[in-house]
């Protein structure tokens, strides 16, 4: 049986608050569910962005939802900065 693959996607924004679509605009990390080193690297990145106040959305079976802890069983985790308008 093949190992499942998870993905952590960090969406960066420009100074105007618009999402960048270029390769420089986001970071993608992937992990195999059986690879402890890859999972640790993704979790460390997840925690670093969460501590900066970024939002984390987990995607897997069922609806997307905001998450506060890293879960390597999710298919995808998207991190985005909190954008406030005024």
The model scores a pTM over 0.85? no
CA distance 65 to 20: 22
Across 3-20, average pLDDT: 70
pLDDT at residue 21, as a whole number:
45
| Residue 15 CB-density burial (10 A; 0-12 exposed, 13-18 middle, 19+ buried) | exposed
pLDDT at residue 15, as a whole number:
47
Across 60-66, average pLDDT: 91
């Amino acid at each position: 049986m093949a190992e499942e693959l998870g993905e952590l996607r960090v969406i960066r924004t420009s100074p105007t608050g618009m999402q960048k679509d270029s390769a420089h605009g986001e970071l993608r990390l992937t992990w195999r569910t059986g690879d402890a080193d890859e999972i640790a690297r993704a979790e460390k990145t997840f925690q670093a962005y969460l501590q900066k106040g970024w939002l984390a959305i987990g995607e897997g079976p069922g609806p997307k939802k905001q998450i506060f802890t890293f879960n390597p069983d999710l298919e995808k985790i998207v991190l985005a900065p909190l954008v406030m308008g005024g």
